[in-house]
Structure 1
Amino acid sequence: MERLAVNPWDWSVKLGYHQAEVIEGARCQVMCAGQTAVDGTGAPQHMGDMRGQIGLALDNLEAVLAGAGMGLGDIVRLGIFATDVDAALQHFDLLGRRFGAVDNRPPMTLLGVTRLAVPGLMFEIEATAMQ
């Protein structure tokens, strides 16, 4: 699979993502449901702690990808939903560390929402991955 970054401007690269990617030759695509800060039984964790919720949501995303034989480096698109965008952005270093470690800057969208499906959860991340 080949990935070609499309960045008419460089400001998004400085923030850790590409404006778009052209993907050719993919043989497998995985679409992950939104992952949140829940434990193995689905019980919400880290109530009131945005950083904790982002970290666990990323852990859960990695676990889902691993179950499909993929990892963060295979992600080609992210959708992020937060009940407090400013609080989420204060902790985006967590995404930078995880995606930087695998040298991946997938296109992403961050949306502010009034609430998520489970009360008390503040952060949700969905992904599309390809190999």
Structure 2
Amino acid sequence: MHTTEIEVSTGGRAVVHDLTGEIRRFLSTTDAGDGLLHVWVPHATAGLAILETGAGSDDDLLAALDDLLPRDDRWRHRHGSSGHGRDHVLPAFLPPYASVPVLGGSPALGTWQSICLVDTNIDNTTRTVRLSHLPG
């Protein structure tokens, strides 16, 4: 298995950060060939999504999360900024892991698909993402 960790600066706002370029660079340095890519976010308040970016879907996702998980005081988990408890519920909807086939050294994504870190936690500004390639 080939593995590495990358750090992503998310700033103090909710973000959908496209990891696909970093993933392609990682796979190119491992002479990946075929296999399986596993992406893991070791945080209790972030998740991963595979979606189209740049055409509004990323903003739509953040808006949908705001509708589904409002940043208000309804949450029992109460530390950090107001409404932070919702960030701890996020990984139940957007899991902190994704597995994607790798074919010929490239992630086998659809034409418009990107692998994205989704982070709504405004209290933590840096995230770690582990990329692992299991050769096939």
- TM-score normalised over the length of structure 2: 0.36
Larger radius of gyration: 2
Higher strand share: 2
Say which structure is richer in helix.
1
Task: Pick 1 or 2: higher relative contact order, CA cutoff 8 A, min separation 6.
Answer: 2
TM-score, structure 1 length as denominator? 0.37
